[in-house]
Amino acid sequence: MNTSWTGGQQQADEDRAKLEEFEKRVDPNNKQQTDLLEEMRRHTEQLEKSRKYEDPRLSFSTPEFKEAQRKFQARFNVNFDRPIEYGMVKKYPWSTPTLQKLEVPVDVDGNPWPLDENGNPILKEGVDMEPSKQFERMAQGSR
């Protein structure tokens, strides 16, 4: 699977026009120019073949990907400094993992999160246990 974006149909048309322009200017008696033209022709055909199956959604440089990456990163950062309360748990070593609420909140390394006397997780100052408020603020800021 090719993950590099080679420009799509517009770029293919530009490449084909550039090749035709060089074909008009080449001196058929000059071996160096004809060799270069043949190399350009092979390269253009190779690009056309790769463009035939390419999907712009797989590119890491499109505006759509960059926007999706920005949103993911923002939502990912909201969950820092919070305990993990749900996880994929296997009841038995041979069973399929299922999403379950954990008995005790843990950190990213699986160590128990420190709790206060009421059994609530102790959070750093400025961190709210309910991330939905931060998601709402993020949604309002992106409009």
Question: Can you give the pLDDT at residue 92?
Answer: 92
- Residue pLDDT tens, the chain, 143 long: 444 556 667 788 888 898 899 888 888 898 898 898 899 899 888 888 877 777 666 667 778 788 888 888 887 777 777 888 888 889 899 999 999 888 888 888 889 988 888 888 887 776 666 666 666 666 666 54
Q: CA neighbours within 13 Å on the CB side: how many for 3?
A: 3
Question: What is the CA 89 to chain-centroid distance, rounded?
Answer: 27
For the chain, which residues make up each domain, given as ranges?
8-58, 73-141
**Number of other CB atoms surrounding residue 125 within 10 Å:** 5
Report how far apart, in Å, the C-alpha atoms of 74 and of each of 67, 68, 104, 138 are: 11, 10, 26, 8
Position 98 scores a pLDDT of: 93
Chain centroid offset of residue 98 CA: 26
The per-residue pLDDT for 2 is 45
Contact between residue 70 and residue 13 where contact means Cβ atoms under 8 Å apart: no
What's the pLDDT at 77? 75
In this predicted structure, what is the pLDDT of residue 97? 93
Per-residue model confidence (pLDDT) at position 133: 67
CA distances from 50 to 7, 12, 44, 61, 117 (A): 11, 11, 10, 17, 63
DSSP-derived letter for residue 88 is E
